[in-house]
Amino acid sequence: MAGGTEMAGIRRHIVTNQAARDPFGAGVLPLKQKFLGTTTAQLGIPGPAQQVSTYDLFTVWHHLAMGRMTPATQSDRNAAHSGPVFAPWHRLMLLLLELQMQRILGDPTVGLPYWDWAADGALPAAGQPAAPLWRPTGIGSGAVSDGPFAFPAFRVQIESNGSAQLQTTNRPLRRGLGLDGDAPTLPTPQTQATTLRQTRYDASPWNRSSTGFRNRLEGWSPFGMHNRVHVWVGGDMGPATSPNDPVFYLNHCNVDRIWEGWLTQRGRSYVPGAGQGPPGHRINDPLFSIVWPSMTPAQVLDPAGAALDWYRYDSLPIPN
């Protein structure tokens, strides 16, 4: 995955840049319809057997990561969330989807777009569900019935049931913009600025109660940022199969952009180090993967560095 021979992808704001919007829909839809020769039955997913697409495999990966406790006796921290690995694990996931989009579009310069949700969070509450993002990605709440991700071109085929177990389905994508009382509005620029002012990445006990940048960015202490976006969008962005909604990637690309802004200003450091903290979250621990070769947090800290040259952002939020 190392670069250097070709131009890195540029990640742009999907709302303000049509050059970011068009490749996103043009890349997601073929990946949703590109089947791998594997069925849901072969993966042990109950329900009518269906072929598994490249896109859906990422959804399965995310669901399995959320169910993989680290360590196994932990009640909340898992292989991708509620601990230090939150930012690097999702960086790897985004990178691998981006590489798939570049492959299917035949363009190594394509970058995943991001959604600057703090900018929308500055709007009045009533105006946030009508913000420009929702025109190219599907207007309003309920079943998505317009745009590139409308049924039947885009189908939700694997979902989490009420017991947080995978099952097959065949239905439209669903959203509930701003309808959850726990998150009636998006994070604000002020909340983002407070997050960026944190001077350390993470701290013991390395979970939802930790202080530092990671936990504020993830949105556990206090509730906000990434977690608030998931709850605000609602619908398919709520359960462990949240990558069913392409907006998942717009959200996490912005989360990664905020982390990149923090790394640029604070130095490319990560904790816990080797021999510290929980297994699966230390700097040299392999990130949980179900198919692809894995990497470690140390290996993903500088995506635009000379040794990698994977991608860059058109702009970064800067701590102030």
- In the DSSP assignment, the letter for residue 22 is H
For the record, the structure tokens of 107 come out as: 């363009």
Whether the pLDDT of residue 7 is over 70: the answer is no
CB-facing half-sphere around the CA of 212: CA atoms within 13 A:
22
What integer pLDDT is reported at residue 136 of this predicted model? Answer: 65
**Residues in the chain, how many?**
320
CA atoms 123, 125, 130, 134: torsion sign: positive
Q: pTM of this prediction? A: 0.95
CB-facing half-sphere around the CA of 105: CA atoms within 13 A:
21
Residue closest to 55 by CA, chosen among 239, 218, 248, 235 = 248
> What percent of the chain has a predicted confidence (pLDDT) above 90?
84
For the record, the structure tokens of 37 come out as: 């020769």
> What percent of the chain has a predicted confidence (pLDDT) above 70?
95
Whether the pLDDT of residue 320 is over 90: the answer is no
**Amino acid at the residue 314:** D
CA dist list (Å): 294 to 69, 98, 262, 316: 18, 16, 24, 27
What integer pLDDT is reported at residue 4 of this predicted model? Answer: 41
Q: Could you tell me how far CA 299 lies from the centroid of its own chain?
A: 18
pLDDT digits (tens, 9 = 90+) for 16-39: 988 888 899 999 999 999 898 999
CA dist list (Å): 212 to 35, 102, 216, 227, 254: 41, 34, 7, 16, 19
pLDDT digits (tens, 9 = 90+) for 54-91: 999 999 999 999 999 999 999 899 999 999 999 999 99
CA atoms of 67 and 77, how far apart (whole Å): 9
Spell out the domain ranges in the chain.
9-313
Q: Cα–Cα–Cα angle for 194, 197, 200, nearest 5°?
A: 125
What integer pLDDT is reported at residue 18 of this predicted model? Answer: 85
Average pLDDT over residues 232-252: 97
- In the DSSP assignment, the letter for residue 13 is B
Range 9-313 has CATH code 1.10.1280.10? yes
What integer pLDDT is reported at residue 1 of this predicted model? Answer: 44
What integer pLDDT is reported at residue 141 of this predicted model? Answer: 73
Q: How many CB atoms lie within 10 A of CB 163?
A: 6
For the record, the structure tokens of 140 come out as: 């309003």
Residue closest to 316 by CA, chosen among 224, 253, 247, 230 = 253
Average pLDDT of the residues of the chain: 93
Whether the pLDDT of residue 5 is over 50: the answer is no
Torsion of CA 215, 220, 225, 227, to 10 degrees: 120
For the record, the structure tokens of 262 come out as: 């923090």
pLDDT digits (tens, 9 = 90+) for 253-267: 999 999 999 999 999
Which band of pLDDT confidence, cut at 50, 70 and 90, is reported for residue 292? confident
